[in-house]
Amino acid sequence: MTALRPGTLIAAPWVEFDDLDASSPIWVVPAERMKLRLQYKDDQSRDHLVPLSTQARDVLRALRPLTGRTPYLFPNQRHAHRPASENAIGYLLNRAGYHHRHVPHGWRATFSTVMNERYKHDRHIIDLMLAHVPKNAVEGAYNRAEHLDRRVELAQAWADLLMVDQMPIKDILSLRRSPKPGREMAAVI
């Protein structure tokens, strides 16, 4: 739902989610956790802002009772003080029947394709949501606009599209076991 790189999502610590009750909560991913050149990793102005849709908030609220006592949203099963493996999402997709049909990073391409088709005039903002660096070096140096209001709208539109006709998140997470293990996680991602 967030269009973040899978590795950034899987290693997300709970401390990055302070106020889920805000009217438009924003997840601030520190620059040090983003795919950036080493020289920019300490630059707070390069932190990535991720507007959280209503559905993303619901996922986080449902997840907190399950993993909120560990440092990470998705803790490692053997070592709860570490995040789950970056391969965990791919493993779950494979177990849900998507082997050789979809990979976790493919959600970013899907987000870009679908949103650019639907919102042709928002290409720059969609790239910003993907944390892509502008190809024009001059623009990247001078234009630091965040376009946060529009990003909130687009994040909500994407989540609405993903979750149309889906059962509520709390019901997905309360499933004891689906016929194909991992299917409930694939639906959430």
Q: Which residues are catalytic?
A: 5, 35, 105, 108, 132, 142
φ/ψ of residue 173, rounded to 5: -70, -15
- The token duo for 132 is 């892509």
DSSP-derived pairing of the beta strands 26-29 and 48-51: antiparallel
Q: Which residues pair with 50 in a beta bridge?
A: 27
Rounded CA separation 110/90 (Å): 16
Joined tokens for residue 82 = 């570490």
Taking Cα atoms as reference points, which of 105, 139, 137, 112 lies closest to residue 126?
112
- The number of angstroms, rounded, from the C-alpha of 161 to the middle of its chain's C-alpha atoms is 15
Whether the Cβ atoms of residue 148 and residue 26 lie closer than 8 Å to each other:
yes
